[in-house]
């Protein structure tokens, strides 16, 4: 039983008090079809709102099955509406962007019902209200009478014992009004139906009780038809909405209104592009900080280089190189690491070039020709380099002189290759095989401590120079005649020469027999006239030389495809059992403190940007979602809590953010793979990896959560009645 005892309702506005109704006494029971009439302003709608729990009262007491309600909190009224009451409004209060089916489904999803199990129930209700052929039609496309039928079906789906109707036929023509009233009467057999109307004539034939109000008071409370009354109004079973139903509604709301979807898509795309651009700029600044850095030990200090050796200092095997090559982020390996840090200084007239050796070969040159003979050189440099742009013809003329403390030679530049990744003042060189042999010789001398003794007499440091000639038989050595002083009777023939090469990785020895003594007279026959090279003291076969110096690789350099791959590549190499040294981490930066301050400043700027984006996005979102206030008011009338509304909005915004971001990432991947050309995005995402993409996505999710929470507070700032009135 629903009972009012001396209940009054007042409104307070601008310091004034207005009466909605005063001292109302009323007993209502199941099975009744109660009609409340009266002119506008008589208090009938206010009374209906109090009875339905949409509004509170100030004086008296309302009882539900004998329980007092004057102490009810907002949550208590929420539970009352969910358990007992369904509302049918004059303006229908439906979700126009939902279909007939979805509007009826909404109330059942809100009550925790399974989406699959409720389908036959909804279909039956649609048939009952005569809308079978409109089940998948948007409510916005229905007539007024059809909309009211949907509202009735939704009320029946709620399966509450009380149905309250505020002017259910006020916006309908006479035919539609008659059909709606007849339908309400048919469903009122086991429920309490309360109808507020200003037109008594059209509804009186269905009423079991007629209540007439005037100036906030009940003037008449007349029983028209006597029925067996049930004085206990049984509440329906109430379940909380499930998380999956919240997700279903959130995803549905994300796409159901095209203009809203496009506007929110634009907002999230703007946020994404702004974050990626600024984050990308930060990463570019971070990686290009290396321009202010240098290595005191390594000539080739490119960011992509990682130096490796084995933890036990043993040689790196061929199978281990194959394991490295299988790593997805490795571009190439330089097994002889000594070449990497070999400086090249060459001069030909006024053309002066310096840099370091290139480890790989090139198949095509941009100017000139490729290496095809001895003593030939390819120069690699920036297209804007002065020599390679303005004087490229001069670069290919003449012979370049080169020397270091161990070797000297002359070579000719035959081709130019352009590489924009190099600075305008730095060059790389590719040497022909015979020139590389000389470089190999020099690097081995620098990397090893070489000791040579003849008949147990050690040569002085200036005589520790070895030449290579395949005219020397394997196992033998040709000695220059100026070393005869180390032998008995100044005759070194058949003497034993011991060579020892030592570095941090190995200690190798070979013993060779002196079979020839080289002089100016026989040098042409023995070693093709190389005796005039003052650096060389003795000559050995190439195989013996390799036994001493090139018998194994102990230290190599690995080059990654992208700078951002260095950290992951180091981890993978560590897992394979290698020590790693990333050149990027070994550099010295004289402006390090300034750069660190700059990075902190950049992070602060990004933090401020996120905050700014939040307020801008929320402001725009609030404008877009103003039209959605009716949706959340509808949810509240169906018994939704603030938490549930916020969760549904969160799921909607997260769905929009995820959809937008996924499209952006797909587009970025297409750009990265040169399927789509977009120079700006290519630059901004150059150093952005999975971790950075995930970070930006988490910021989008965070912004979505904050916007949902803030907007949720706005939705529940006012009472249902006030919010409902604002949207009319």
By CB atoms closer than 10 A (0-12, 13-18, 19+), residue 451 is middle
The number of beta carbons lying within 10 Å of the beta carbon of residue 136 is 9
- Spell out the residues 6+ positions from residue 324 whose beta carbon is closer than 8 angstroms to its own: 308, 330, 333, 558, 573, 576
Domain at 296-335+554-586: CATH code: 3.30.70
Cα 217 off chain centre by: 63
Three-state SS for 204? coil
Three-state SS for 58? coil
| 557/106 Cα distance (integer angstroms) | 64
Q: Which residues pair with 67 in a beta bridge?
A: 64
Could you give phi then psi for residue 158, rounded to 5 degrees?
Answer: -70, -25
pTM over 0.75: no
- First-to-last alpha carbon distance for the chain, in angstroms, is 32
- Which parts of the chain sit beneath pLDDT 50? 531-532, 726-728
Of 241, 97, 95, give the one whose Cα is nearest residue 644.
Answer: 241
Q: The dihedral of CA 503, 504, 506, 507: what is its sign? A: positive
Please check whether residue 570 is in contact with residue 582, taking contact to mean a CB–CB distance below 8 angstroms.
yes
Token representation of residue 478:
């040709």
- In this prediction, residue 653 carries a pLDDT of 95
| Local structure of residue 628 (DSSP, 8 states) | G
By CB atoms closer than 10 A (0-12, 13-18, 19+), residue 642 is middle
Please check whether residue 466 is in contact with residue 504, taking contact to mean a CB–CB distance below 8 angstroms.
no
| 83/445 Cα distance (integer angstroms) | 92
Cα 622 off chain centre by: 25
| 226/223 Cα distance (integer angstroms) | 7
The number of beta carbons lying within 10 Å of the beta carbon of residue 548 is 20
Query: How many residues belong to the chain?
Result: 728
- Spell out the residues 6+ positions from residue 708 whose beta carbon is closer than 8 angstroms to its own: 646, 649, 650, 653
Strands (E) across 459-565 are located at 466-468, 476-480, 496-502, 507-518, 538-540, 555-560
| 691/713 Cα distance (integer angstroms) | 33
Q: Where are the domains of the chain?
A: 2-238, 244-287+594-726, 296-335+554-586, 337-430, 449-548
Three-state SS for 349? coil
- In this prediction, residue 426 carries a pLDDT of 82
Could you give phi then psi for residue 26, rounded to 5 degrees?
Answer: -160, 140
Domains 2-238 and 296-335+554-586 equal at CATH topology level = no
* Lookup result for tokens 């499209």: 663
Q: Which CATH number fits domain 2-238: 3.40.50.300, 2.170.150.20, 3.40.630.30, 2.30.110.10?
A: 3.40.50.300
| Local structure of residue 335 (DSSP, 8 states) | S
């Amino acid at each position: 039983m629903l009972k009012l005892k001396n209940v009054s309702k007042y409104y307070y506005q601008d310091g004034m008090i207005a009466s909605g109704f005063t001292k109302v006494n009323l007993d209502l029971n199941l099975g009744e079809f109660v009609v409340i009439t009266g002119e506008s302003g008589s208090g009938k709608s206010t009374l209906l709102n109090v009875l339905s729990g949409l509004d509170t009262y100030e004086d008296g007491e309302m009882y539900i099955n004998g329980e007092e309600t004057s102490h009810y909190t907002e949550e208590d009224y929420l539970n009352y509406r969910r358990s007992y009451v369904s509302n049918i409004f004059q303006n229908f209060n439906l979700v126009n962007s939902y279909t007939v089916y979805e509007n009826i489904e909404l109330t059942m999803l809100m009550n925790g019902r399974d989406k699959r199990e409720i389908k036959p129930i909804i279909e039956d209700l649609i048939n009952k209200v005569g809308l079978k052929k409109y089940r998948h039609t948007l409510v916005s496309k229905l007539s007024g009478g059809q909309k009211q039928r949907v509202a009735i079906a939704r009320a029946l789906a709620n399966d509450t014992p009380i149905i309250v109707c505020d002017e259910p036929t006020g916006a309908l023509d006479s035919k539609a009004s008659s059909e709606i009233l007849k339908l309400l009467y048919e469903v009122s057999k086991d429920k309490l139906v309360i109808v507020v109307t200003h037109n008594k004539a059209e509804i009186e034939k269905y009423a079991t009780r007629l209540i007439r109000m005037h100036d906030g008071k009940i003037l008449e409370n007349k029983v028209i038809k006597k029925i067996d009354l049930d004085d206990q109004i049984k509440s329906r079973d109430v379940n909380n909405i499930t998380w999956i139903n919240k997700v279903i509604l959130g995803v549905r709301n994300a796409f159901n209104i095209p203009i809203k979807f496009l506007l929110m898509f634009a907002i999230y795309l703007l946020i994404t592009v702004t974050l990626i651009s600024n984050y990308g700029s930060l990463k570019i600044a971070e990686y290009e900080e290396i321009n202010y850095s240098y290595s005191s030990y390594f000539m080739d200090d490119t960011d992509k280089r990682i130096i490796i050796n084995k933890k036990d200092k043993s040689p790196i095997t061929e199978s281990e190189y194959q394991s490295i090559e299988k790593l997805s982020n490795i571009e190439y390996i330089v097994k002889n690491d000594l070449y990497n840090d070999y400086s090249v200084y060459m001069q030909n007239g006024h053309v002066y070039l310096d840099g370091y050796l290139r480890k790989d070969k090139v198949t095509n040159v941009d100017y000139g020709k490729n290496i095809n003979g001895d003593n030939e050189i390819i120069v690699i440099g920036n297209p804007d380099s002065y020599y390679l742009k303005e004087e490229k013809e001069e670069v290919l003329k003449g012979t370049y002189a080169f020397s270091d403390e161990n070797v000297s030679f002359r070579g000719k530049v035959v081709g130019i290759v352009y590489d924009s990744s190099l600075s305008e003042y730095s060059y790389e060189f590719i040497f022909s095989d015979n020139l590389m042999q000389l470089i190999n010789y020099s690097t081995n001398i620098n990397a090893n401590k070489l000791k040579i003794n003849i008949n147990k007499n050690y040569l002085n440091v200036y005589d520790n120079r070895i030449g290579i000639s395949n005219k020397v038989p394997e196992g033998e050595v040709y000695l220059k005649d100026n070393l005869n002083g180390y032998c008995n009777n100044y005759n070194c023939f058949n003497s034993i020469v011991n060579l020892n090469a030592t570095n941090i990785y190995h200690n190798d020895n070979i013993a060779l027999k002196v079979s020839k003594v080289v002089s100016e007279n026989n040098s042409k026959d023995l070693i093709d006239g190389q005796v005039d090279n003052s650096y060389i003291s003795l000559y050995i076969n190439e195989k013996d030389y390799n036994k001493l110096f090139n018998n194994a690789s102990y230290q190599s350099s690995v080059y990654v495809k992208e700078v951002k791959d260095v950290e992951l590549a180091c981890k993978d190499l560590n897992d394979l059992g290698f020590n790693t040294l990333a050149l990027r981490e070994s550099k010295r930066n004289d402006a390090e403190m300034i750069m660190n301050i700059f990075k902190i400043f950049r992070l602060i700027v990004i933090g401020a940007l996120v905050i700014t984006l939040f307020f801008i996005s929320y402001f725009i979102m609030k404008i877009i979602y103003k039209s959605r206030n009716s949706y959340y008011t509808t949810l509240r009338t169906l018994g939704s809590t603030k938490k549930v509304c916020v969760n549904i909005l969160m799921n909607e915004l997260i769905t929009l953010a995820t959809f937008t971001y996924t499209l952006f990432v797909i587009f970025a991947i297409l750009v990265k793979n040169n399927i789509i050309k977009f120079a700006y995005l290519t630059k901004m995402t150059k150093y952005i990896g999975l971790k950075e993409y995930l970070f930006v996505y988490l910021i989008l999710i965070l912004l979505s959560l904050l916007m949902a929470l803030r907007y949720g507070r706005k939705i529940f700032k006012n009472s249902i009645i006030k919010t409902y009135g604002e949207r009319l």
